[in-house]
């Protein structure tokens, strides 16, 4: 049985993903960890990134409206130029691999290994020297390129940004405000790129009228998630918040590596 071209199983997984996205945007970012593999399993690798992006933007709107005053822009100003470089490389990778089956899985594994490397650097801060920390000039550049690349090819920049901002030891509201603005800006900039890539490769579409209809009908699940996340955030102790972020980032990286 299908509805608007999707099976009931796809609708169920899509709704679960939308709920997790909502919670991750306003409460616990790591709750979005299973969304990438969940949507890929339900809709296929390439179509899933087009389905996921509008859901992310829906959540971003609420996150920015609620936490906008807490953003620490100094943590983003030096990062964003490098993110643009990563976005360009990611867009090129999507164009080149448009007709290659399974390529996205390989890209996901690369992202996963790099995130695990970032975790090692995070835990060894103070032992590797200032130049190798996530907050150093080199660390900011590497984080920016990886974040841009990973968000373009698979919407999987969450673990990268989590580790980067966790290294700054931001209070919960500042963390949420900073990451909210970052993803709102980046996700909006990706949408027209996905549309262009779809027009250039109509046999391997990313965003379609069908996927946008699915997004619109899944909005109530995103809405439920953002309010659940807002309720959760003030009830989570700061140390628990930081620990959960790192654990979920590691889980996301391992999932990308293992496939």
Residue 212 belongs to what H/E stretch? helix 209-217
Higher pLDDT, 161 or 1: 161
Of 111-125, 187-201, 215-229, where does the model show the most confidence?
215-229
CB 15 within 8 A of CB 215: no
Burial (CB count within 10 angstroms: exposed 0-12, middle 13-18, buried 19+), residue 15 = middle
Range among 84-98, 211-225, 242-256 with highest mean pLDDT value: 211-225
Report the pLDDT value the prediction gives residue 155, as an integer from 0 to 100: 79
Q: How confident is the model at residue 125 (pLDDT cuts 50, 70, 90)?
A: low
Residue 77 per-residue DSSP state: H
CA pair distance 108, 74, nearest whole angstrom: 29
98 versus 220: the higher-pLDDT residue is: 220
pLDDT for 102: 52
**In the chain, which ranges are E strands?**
2-3, 6-7
What is the structure's pLDDT at 175?
Answer: 93
pLDDT at residue 110, as a whole number: 67
Beta bridge partners of 2: 7
Q: What angle do CA 245, 246, 251 make, to 5 degrees?
A: 100
Q: Per-residue pLDDT tens for 38-68?
A: 788 788 778 888 999 999 999 999 999 999 9
Determine the Cα–Cα distance for residues 223 and 229; give it in Å rounded to an integer.
10
Q: Residue 84: pLDDT above 80?
A: yes
Higher-confidence residue: 132 or 37? 37
CB 124 within 8 A of CB 159: no
Can you tell me the distance from the alpha carbon of 113 to that of 93, in angstroms, rounded to the nearest whole number? 18
d(CA 196, CA 19): 28
Q: Is 203 helix (H, G, I), strand (E, B) or coil?
A: coil
What confidence score (pLDDT) does residue 250 get? 78
> Could you tell me the pLDDT band of residue 239, with boundaries at 50, 70 and 90?
confident
Burial 180-192 (b: 16+ CB within 10 A, else e): bbbbbebbeebbe
What's the rounded Cα separation, in Å, for the pair 64 and 251? 26
Q: How far apart are the first and last CA of the chain?
A: 29
- CA-CA distance, 96 to 90, in Å (whole number)? 10
Alpha carbon distance 129, 147 (integer Å): 23
- Bridge partners for 6 per DSSP: 3
């Amino acid at each position: 049985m299908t509805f608007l071209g999707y099976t009931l199983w796809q609708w169920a997984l899509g709704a679960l993903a939308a709920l997790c996205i909502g919670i991750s945007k306003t409460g616990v970012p790591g709750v979005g960890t299973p969304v990438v593999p969940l949507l890929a399993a339900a809709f296929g690798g390439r179509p899933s990134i087009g389905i996921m992006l509008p859901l992310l933007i829906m959540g971003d709107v609420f996150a920015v409206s609620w936490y906008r005053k807490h953003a620490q822009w100094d943590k983003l100003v030096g990062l964003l130029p490098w993110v643009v470089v990563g976005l360009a490389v990611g867009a090129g990778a999507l164009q080149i691999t448009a007709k290659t089956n399974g390529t996205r899985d390989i890209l996901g594994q690369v992202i996963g290994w790099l995130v695990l490397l970032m975790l090692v650097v995070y835990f060894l801060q103070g032992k590797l020297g200032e130049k190798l920390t996530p907050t150093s000039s080199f660390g900011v550049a590497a984080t920016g390129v990886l974040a841009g690349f990973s968000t373009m090819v698979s919407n999987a920049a969450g673990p990268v940004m989590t580790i980067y901002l966790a290294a700054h030891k931001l209070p919960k509201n500042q963390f949420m405000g900073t990451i909210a603005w970052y993803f709102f800006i980046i996700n909006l900039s990706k949408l027209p790129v996905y549309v262009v890539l779809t027009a250039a490769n109509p046999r391997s579409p990313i965003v379609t009228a069908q996927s946008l209809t699915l997004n619109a009908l899944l909005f109530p699940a995103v809405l439920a998630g953002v309010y659940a996340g807002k309720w959760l955030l003030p009830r989570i102790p700061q140390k628990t918040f930081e620990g959960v972020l790192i654990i979920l980032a590691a889980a996301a990286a391992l999932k990308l590596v293992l496939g």
